[in-house]
A and B are shown apart, each in its own frame.
Chain A
């Protein structure tokens, strides 16, 4: 009998031991800082394509343990807040905090992002990260057919898929805009992209280090301020040919980080400077870069993205590359024309990318490269995906800059219409083309098959409104 008791005691002790080991392991994992140990074991499901790069840092979204709903909301807006304000967002937060719309909140909690965008739920994740059923608009707009007879008989899961509406960014699709741009030709007469303005506005950028690097051309190797032995002939040539040399940007401007200088430490020479070297002059570009998928890991204190991390098809030989400014802007030439096409195609291997070289856009770009047509008349990858936008640098200054957050004009792709397509194409043609999946795959070789009714509907609404106004006037 005593043996039985000892056996049982042993069994209990072993159980306590096993549980103790398990608990200790889990406890250590859950409280560890990101990067110390793999915490994916606690993930309730795989991440969406938007966030999957953040899997190594749970804290990027789960900022605090035992966080409240508000903390989670804060984490969302920390990255996505800028786009959630009017006019970028057609359903901004203040629309729902407005007491007149309080009843809509009873249908759906529109104040919190996670209501419609729950993470870790691939099973119910639709396009653009929506985790509500596709007819979610029904909650608030179920009476739309009464207000707009033209919408009679339309299914609620087509609001966002028929080229008419986006929940957030609707800037290229709202009625007034459609009316304003109706009857535009497919290809505009003056089809040309705006020119960049960085060199023109240099004088007005306050934190530009003009004291150290005055805007005067540097023309001979003797001008270089690199320490002895740090440069060679080919570097000299490349730099002297670059616009950097032409505007007085010397070696140390990139190779010594400005914040090093501020902290009064001995200036450190960085052999291969990263985005911190660029940020002293191109702060805006760098910050936009860290908002997109190329640079988002930097924003979450993670090492840069590796090409192999991507979920899109990539060139196999590029898998080991990691992404920084130099991935596209090769030192020391910094040739933006190379960056605009070769930079992309050295990694991306999806159908759309591979079809580019055979497209009309590419043919124009080839002509621009050899000078047959003017700057801005060719269409590179960057023309659409890193469009030249008029960006408000400060309250009194805006400039045309290249948006290095390529995701800002994607998902849904109608966000690309205003910054890119409309420079050359009519609105109807643009909407139709972007709604045509095959056309996107073959990089727009051919005419859109799909015809959206949105402009026609807008026109009808306009006529109806005019008629109503007229009848009121007659009364």
Chain B
């Protein structure tokens, strides 16, 4: 087949080449989410660089993840925001099907014969549904479920279908089932493996998912293979390998994806299942990159959008003179299967011998599982809601340590971290991913909030978070909702108390001791306070009494969290009393010791007390100044200092007891 090289439409070319750069643009083939992302990344890394995005489908770029929601009517449109709005150097052309790539002259030629010269070429051609070679797949009402065209067709079909069979019980099949379930259509899922989502779940979770899917009225047949599809022009029935015949009027094939590699193959680029790429996402032509579902990295083709985004970032970095390297993506799945949220991260279904820690709540159908390898988090999966999944995802990706008490808490409560509803998402590490779809971290969101985003919409516009699947929207709201912090009662007192405490600590640790008198020729001198045994006893017992008062004020809060308000009134009053009594105690302490740390046991006591005081000061300051500090700072300081304040109190009764005892013993 010969293709005539014609000059591109001058008008069109003019429009595209409107950028002032003399250099040839970076051309992206594919206007899907990954193609769009790489264009945006390049523009972000180097705003001078012009980028041309060539899209094949006649639609505006859309988010494939939203197709099922679109199909089920949950969302009106899956369209993605237009990236050219944000970056003037990104141009795009839809409905342009690429015929071939002329590597020697560095041009791509579309089916209309237009030539598009490139400096670098990025293949983001994505994938299409894999259609198994079964007899009868070409019958009417046999659909694949992969692109907008499929969705449009299926959408038309949902109303009239009585019984839809979905071939494939993986991610795609379940999404399709969810979408087709409306209007009382009977749905049957046929899966050749032993359980649903074979790639993401282990047997226990897979079986649980089957029972949950079944309980919602969807039939599931596992260990079954479709042999043939029958019908007169249209689908009427389907025969399974066990010679079982199922009557149906619609078949959706969801047996996996097939990377679109034809263009690459024709251009003599190395391919296997996908287009082979190195760590820089380059093909064997260093000017041509491949990313997303069409790329194969270390024998893996990633069929999810997040790895595609990561690859896009690497490719964009390398094209704009960065030196990013890709080392594979952690497989993270987070979706709603029918009504059950399913989470999976890492290799959850492998033969390795690993420790499994399980939390199961049979009444609500929750299952959570951690896979531990040498005390480190290796993989995790869950069925049912799991609020801390995003944080966990971060921990698994970094193979973080799981401490025995964390695992104990997990098997008891299902949470690896203590549940602090107050701090919530703000307590997550800055690098923890909150929006999986757009790869937005907690830190990114906090930065955006600090820069002035005050509602979900502006936060979404700035960071892109929640613009795709929207499951992270509550987290965004939580972050925003927590921003409004008012001063606590007596905040000035708390802050003053903190300052005084810090000064006292410094005085104890740094300043010289209050001196003894060098003469007896005086009426009264302060060294009486620590020369005279009787006065020392008095100051000592006053200290003991004040300590007891402090403990007594704090005790009821620790012992009976519920009743405190009824019996004691507002906690903030008692907090203020605690601070005032604490400061009084410091005054007596100085009288008792003359700012001396002491020796041996006495020094242990004093150092423990200084630590306790420091923690108390930080706590008091973080509470007293919470309306002025960055939210995360005050929360973190408060959490940690409270812990330190409590734990440093532990040895105090024993130390104090023996400090008193030894004064009389010796």
Q: Is the CB of A138 within 8 A of B651?
A: no
Given A44-B599, A62-B666, also A26-B520 (CB < 8 A)? no
Bound complex: CA of A4 vs CA of B666, how far in Å? 44
Is A3 within 8 A of B412, CB to CB? yes
| B602 CB contacts on chain A under 8 angstroms | 44
9-residue interface stretch from A17-25, A87-95, A387-395, A447-455 = A17-25
Q: Return the CB mask of A1-20 against B: 1 if under 8 Å, else 0.
A: 00110101000000100110
Interface set, chain B 502-529, CB cutoff 8 A to A: 513, 516-521
Is the beta-carbon distance between A42 and B513 smaller than 8 angstroms?
A: no
Number of interface residues of A (CB under 8 A): 35
A364: interface (CB < 8 Å): no
- Whether, in the assembled complex, A182 has its beta carbon less than 8 Å from a beta carbon of chain B, the answer is no
B residues in contact with A124, CB < 8 Å: 516
Q: Pick the residue among A19, A43, A65, A135 that contacts B654 (CB under 8 A).
A: A19
Q: Would you call B651 and A133 a contact (CB within 8 A)?
A: no
Evaluate whether A8 and B558 lie within 8 angstroms (CB atoms) in the complex, with A22-B655, A23-B657, A26-B654 already known: yes
Nearest neighbor of B516 in chain A, beta-carbon distance: A124
A40 CA to B666 CA, complexed, in Å: 12
A19 to B661, CA, bound (A): 15
In the bound complex, do residue A18 and residue B651 qualify as a contact, i.e. CB atoms below 8 Å apart?
Answer: yes
Complex interface residues of chain A between 261 and 280 (CB less than 8 A to chain B)? none
Cβ–Cβ contact A19 & B520, under 8 A: no
Among B628-666, those with CB < 8 Å from A are: 650-651, 653-655, 657-658, 661-662, 664-666
**Which residues of A sit under 8 angstroms from B18, Cβ to Cβ?**
none
Q: A214 at interface (Cβ–Cβ under 8 A)?
A: no
Digit string of A124-155 for contact with B (CB within 8 Å is 1, else 0)? 10000000111110110000000000000000
Contacts A42-B601, A43-B600 given; does A156 touch B521 at CB 8 Å: yes
Cross-chain contact A26 with B658 (CB below 8 angstroms) = yes
Q: Per-residue 0/1 for B555-599: is the Cβ within 8 Å of any A Cβ (1 yes, 0 no)? A: 000110100000000000000000000000000000000001011
Chain A residues whose CB sits within 8 angstroms of the CB of B413 once the complex forms: 3
Given A23-B654, A30-B658, A133–B519 Cβ distance below 8 Å? yes
How many residue pairs between the two chains, A and B, have CB atoms under 8 Å in the bound complex? 76
A138 touches B600 (CB 8 A): no
Which chain B residues lie closer than 8 Å to A35 at the CB level? none
Which chain B residues lie closer than 8 Å to A18 at the CB level? 650-651
Task: Give the interface SS of chain A, mostly helix, strand, loop or mixed.
Answer: helix
**Could you say which of B519, B558, B600, B653 contacts A40, with CB atoms under 8 Å apart?**
B600
Q: Which of chain A's residues has its CB closest to B415's CB?
A: A3
Partner of B651, one of A19, A42, A62, A157: A19
Flag if A42 contacts B666 (CB, 8 Å). yes
The residue of chain B having its C-beta at the shortest distance from the C-beta of A66 within the complex is B664
Q: How far is the CB of B558 from chain A (nearest CB, A)?
A: 7
Which of A42, A123, A157 gathers the greatest number of chain B CB atoms within 10 Å? A42
Q: Is A41 among interface residues, defined by CB-CB distance under 8 A?
A: yes
A249 to B513, CA, bound (A): 61
The answer to whether B650 and A42 touch across the interface, beta carbons within 8 angstroms, is no
Q: Are B657 and A58 closer than 8 Å at their CB atoms?
A: no
Contact B517–A133 (Cβ < 8 Å): yes
Among A62, A124, A135, find the residue whose CB has the most chain B CB atoms closer than 10 A.
A124
Residue in contact with B516 in the complex, picked from A30, A62, A123, A138, CB distance below 8 Å: A123
A163 to B308, CA, bound (A): 94
Cα(A133)–Cα(B531), bound, Å:
11
Query: A424-463 toward B: CB 8 Å interface, digit per residue (1/0)?
Result: 0000000000000000000000000000000000000000
In the complex, the chain B residue whose C-beta lies closest to that of A107 is: B520
- Are the CB atoms of B600 and A19 closer together than 8 Å? no
- Residue pair B601, A135 in contact (C-beta under 8 Å): no
Asked if A45 and B599 sit within 8 Å, CB to CB, the answer is yes
Question: Out of B412, B520, B666, which one reaches A138, CB within 8 Å?
Answer: B520
Residue from the list A44, A66, A123 in contact with B513, Cβ < 8 A: A123
A209 proximity list for chain B (CB < 8 A): none
A23 to B602, CA, bound (A): 15
Could you say which residues of chain B place their CB within 8 Å of the CB of A66?
664-665
Contact assessment for A138 and B521 in the assembled complex, using a CB-CB cutoff below 8 Å: yes
A46 at the A/B interface (Cβ < 8 Å)? yes
| B600 x A133 contact (CB < 8 A) | no
In the complex, which residues 339-367 of chain A have their Cβ closer than 8 Å to any Cβ of chain B?
none
In angstroms, Cα B561 to Cα A18, docked, is: 24
Tell me which residues across on chain B come within 8 A of A67, comparing CB atoms. 666
- Nearest B residue to A61 via CB reads B666
User: How far is B516's CA from A132's CA once the two chains are assembled, in angstroms?
Assistant: 10
Within 8 A of B (CB), among A38-83: 40-46, 58, 62, 65-67
**CA gap between A26 and B661 in the complex, in Å:** 10
Q: Which residues of B contact A19 (CB under 8 A)?
A: 650-651, 653-654
Assembly CA distance A6 to B409 (angstroms): 11
Q: Are B650 and A139 closer than 8 Å at their CB atoms?
A: no
CB-CB < 8 A to A41: which residues of B?
A: 600-601
Closest Cβ of chain B to A109, distance in Å, is 11
Structural contact, B516 and A42, CB atoms closer than 8 A: no
Closest partner residue, chain A, to B651 (CB atom): A22
Q: Mark B247-288, 1 if CB is under 8 A from A, else 0.
A: 000000000000000000000000000000000000000000
Distance, CA A156 to CA B518, complexed state (A): 11
On chain B, the residues within 8 Å of A65 by CB distance are: 665-666
Please report the C-alpha to C-alpha distance between residue A42 and residue B599 in the assembled complex, in whole angstroms. Answer: 9
**A44 to B536 Cα, complex, angstroms:** 14
A44: B residues at CB distance < 8 A: 598-600, 602
Can you name the residue of chain A whose Cβ is closest to the Cβ of B662?
A42
Chain B min CB distance to A378 (Å) = 44
A135 touches B520 (CB 8 A): yes
Query: In the bound complex, what is the Cα–Cα distance between A67 and B663 (angstroms)?
Result: 11
A5 to chain B, nearest CB (A): 9
**Chain A residues, Cβ within 8 Å of B518:** 133-134
CB nearest neighbor in A for B661? A30
Contact B654 A22 (CB under 8 A): yes
CA distance A134 to B598 in the complex (A): 24
How far is it, in angstroms, between the C-alpha of A124 and the C-alpha of B561 when the chains are bound?
50
In Å, the complex CA distance between A3 and B519 comes to 63
Distance (Å) between the CB of B593 and the closest chain A CB? 11
| A62 to B666 Cα, complex, angstroms | 6
Question: From residue B491, how far is it (CB to closest CB) to chain A in Å?
Answer: 28
A156 to B520, CA, bound (A): 10
Task: Please name the residue on chain A nearest to B408 by beta carbon.
Answer: A10
Residues of B within 8 A of A156 (CB): 519, 521
Contacts of B650 in A (CB 8 A): 15, 18-19
Instruction: Specify which chain B residues have a CB less than 8 angstroms from the CB of A40 in the assembled complex.
Output: 600
Partner of A46, one of B599, B658, B665: B599
Q: Report B548 CB to chain A, min CB distance, Å.
A: 16
Inter-chain CA distance A23–B517, complex, in Å, is 37
Please give, as numbers and ranges, the residues of chain A lying within 8 Å of B559 by CB-CB distance. 8
A46 to B412, CA, bound (A): 51
A394 to B601, CA, bound (A): 48
Cβ–Cβ contact A43 & B655, under 8 A? no
Q: For the complex, what is the distance from the CA of A58 to the CA of B651, rounded to whole Å?
A: 25
Interfacial residues of chain B within 599-613, with CB under 8 A of chain A in the complex: 599-602
A8 to B559, CA, bound (A): 8
Q: CB distance B520 to A132 under 8 Å?
A: yes
Q: How far is the CA of A66 from the CA of B665 in the complex (A)?
A: 4
Q: Please pick, from A43, A62, A133, A157, the residue contacting B599 in the complex, using a CB distance under 8 A.
A: A43
Distance between A138 CB and nearest chain B CB, rounded to angstroms: 5
| Measured CA separation A8–B602 after assembly (Å) | 30
Tell me the complex Cα distance, A132–B413, Å: 64
How far is B603's CA from A120's CA once the two chains are assembled, in angstroms?
14
7 residue pairs bridging A and B, Cβ less than 8 Å apart: A26-B658, A42-B665, A44-B600, A62-B665, A123-B516, A133-B519, A133-B520
Using a CB–CB cutoff of 8 Å, the interface residues on chain A facing chain B are: 3-4, 6, 8, 15, 18-19, 22-23, 26, 30, 40-46, 58, 62, 65-67, 120, 123-124, 132-136, 138-139, 156-157
3 smallest A-B Cβ distances: which pairs?
A22-B654, A62-B666, A26-B658
Name 8 extra pairs, CB < 8 A, besides A23-B658, A41-B601.
A4-B561, A8-B559, A22-B655, A40-B600, A42-B665, A44-B599, A62-B666, A138-B519
